[in-house]
Amino acid sequence: MVGVSYQRFPTVKIREMKDEYMKFELRDTDASIANALRRVMIAEVPTIAIDLVEIMSNSSVLNDEFISHRLGLIPLVSKKAMEMRFSRDCDACDGDGQCQYCSVEFCLNVRCEGDQTLDVTSGDLRSFDPMVMPVDANIGKDFDEDSVDPSIQKKSGIIIVKLRRGQELNLRAIARKGIGKDHAKWSPAATVTFMYQPEIHINEQLMETLTLDEKEDWVESSPTKVFDIDPKTHQVVVVDPEAYTYDDEVIKKSEAIGKPGLVEIYPLEDSFIFTVESTGVISAYQLVINALEILKQKLDAVRLSDDAQENDEQFGELRQHLGGVL
C-alpha cells in the first residue's frame, strides 16, 4: 500500500488581480476544497485588531464602550499577523497579552480647543509599531498641501467621534492577533464567493426551428444577459456563460414554447470561479496564500498522535492471535 496516492493536482488561472480584489479560476478539484478555502479566508486567516482599551479620559458624547467597540472595528495593516503569537498561547507575557510578540500598543489623545467641531479619526491613533497602522493611514499624505479646496485638505481616516470645545478623548489601546471565528472584527475578508463554471450547449438544430421573434423572446427570458442573437446570421449565441445564475428560466421558457431541450446547461463540478475582496488589512492575493497555509496547519493538527497509532497496532496483533474471534 506504500506509495499509493489519491492526490489531485489543481490548476489556477488568475483573471484579475488588484491590491484588494482578485478573481481567479480554480480547476481540477472539488467543491469541498473550494468551500474550505472560502471558509478559512472568512473566518480563520488571522489579522490584528484592537482588543483592549484603557480610557484615561472621555468627555465626548459617546460612552466608553461605544468608543472601544468602534476602535475594535478599525482595520489595521496585518502583514505581521501570520508571524505574531496569539496572546492566549504567548509564553513571553504569560497570556497577559501585552508583550511585543503578541500585541501592539496604540495611544490616542485629542482635545478640542477651537469653536469648530473636531473629528477624531483613525488617523489620530499613534502606533508604537510602524508595521501595524490603520489601513488608511497614508491616504492623507497623498493630498497636495496647496490644494485649493480646503474640504479635501482635511485629514482623512475613519471617524471615531466628534468633539466640541472643551471635550477630550485620551486612551491607550492594545491590538492583538485574532481570527474572524472569534469576532468578525478580525476577519480579513470583505466578500469571498465562488461559483461553478456553467457549460451551456444550444441545440442548434432545434433552435433553427424558431422564428426570429421567438428567438428574441427566448433570449429575453433569461434575467441576465447570457445569450444574444447574431445580427448577421440570426443565430442564438452564448455571449456570457458566467452571467447565468442557475435560475432555469431559459429551460422553463423552452418547455413553455413546446421546445424542450433547446438548451442544456450544467455546472462543471471541478471548475470554480472565485471572487475575493479583502478589507485592506492584507492583499487579496496574500489572503488566499494565507488561507492555504492555515488550512494546511489545521490538517496537520488533526493527524493522529503516535501513541494512538501504536495502541491500534497492538490491538491488530491481538486480533490476529485470537483469529477472527473479535
Partner 1 sequence: MNAPDRYERFVVPEGTKKVSYERDTKIINAASFIIEREDHTIGNILRMQLHRDPNTLFAGYKLPHPLQYKIIVRIHTASQSSPMQAYNQAINDLDKELEHLKKVFQAEKIRIENISL
Of Zn ion, partner 1, none, which one does residue 326 interact with (CB within 5 to 8 Å by kind)?
Answer: partner 1
For residue 105, state whether it binds partner 1 (rule: CB under 8 A).
no
Residue 212 binds which entry of Zn ion, partner 1, none, with Cβ cut-offs from 5 to 8 Å by kind?
A: none
Partner that binds at residue 99, options partner 1, Zn ion, none, CB closer than 5 to 8 Å by kind: Zn ion
Rg over alpha carbons for the chain, rounded to the nearest Å, is 29
Which string of x and - marks every residue 100-129 that binds Zn ion (by CB under 5 A)?
-xx---------------------------
| Min CB(213)–partner 1 separation in Å | 44
If contact means CB under 5 to 8 A according to the sort of partner, which of Zn ion, partner 1, none does residue 8 touch? partner 1
Q: Is 11 in the site for partner 1 (CB under 8 A)?
A: yes
The single-letter DSSP state of residue 86 is P
Q: Rounded CA gap, 25 and 47, in Å?
A: 26
Using CB under 5 A, which of 26, 45, 81, 90 touches Zn ion? 90
The residue count for binding Zn ion (CB under 5 A) is 6
What does the alpha-carbon distance between residue 177 and residue 87 come to, in Å, rounded to a whole number? 7
Tell me if 48 sits within 8 A of 132, measured CB to CB: yes
Helix, strand, or coil (residue 206): helix
272 binds partner 1 (CB under 8 A): no
The count of other CB atoms within 10 Å of the CB of residue 102 is: 22
Yes or no: say if 282 and 47 are a contact pair by the CB < 8 Å rule: yes
Q: Answer yes or no whether residue 298 interacts with partner 1 by CB under 8 A.
A: yes
Contacts of 292 (CB under 8 A, 6+ apart): 37
Find all residues with CB under 8 Å of 312, minimum gap 6, and list them. none
| CB within 8 Å of 219: residues ≥ 6 apart | 227, 228, 229, 236
Phi first, then psi: give them for residue 193, nearest 5 degrees. Answer: -135, 155
Q: Helices marked H in the chain — which ranges? A: 31-43, 64-72, 139-142, 150-153, 204-207, 212-220, 249-256, 284-301, 306-322
Binding of Zn ion by 174 (CB under 5 A):
no
Among 56, 139, 299, 318, binds partner 1 (CB under 8 A): 299
With CB under 8 A as the contact rule, the residue among 155, 183, 201, 234 that binds partner 1 is: 183
Q: Kindly give, in sequence order, each residue whose CB lies less than 8 Å from that of residue 238, ignoring residues fewer than 6 positions away.
A: 200, 202, 226, 227
Choices 39-47, 159-167, 197-205, 248-256; region in contact with partner 1 by CB under 8 A = 39-47
Instruction: Give the whole-angstrom CA distance, residue 252 versus residue 265.
Output: 12
State yes or no: residue 40 binds partner 1 (CB under 8 A): yes
Nearer to partner 1, 30 or 240 (CB): 30
Judged by CB under 8 A, does residue 88 bind partner 1? yes
Q: Are 104 and 48 in contact (CB under 8 A)?
A: yes
Give whichever of 143 and 196 is closer to partner 1, judged by the CB atom.
196
**Member of 31, 36, 52, 93 binding Zn ion (CB under 5 A):** 93
Interface of this chain with partner 1, residues 305 to 324, rule: CB under 8 A: 305, 308-309, 312, 315-316
CA separation for the pair 322, 326 (Å, rounded)? 7
Smallest distance from the beta carbon of 47 to partner 1, in angstroms?
A: 15
Which residues lie near Zn ion (CB under 5 A)?
90, 92-93, 99, 101-102
| Binding positions for partner 1, rule: CB under 8 A | 1, 4-14, 17, 24, 29-30, 32-33, 35-36, 39-40, 44, 88, 179, 181-183, 285, 288-289, 292-293, 295-296, 298-305, 308-309, 312, 315-316, 326
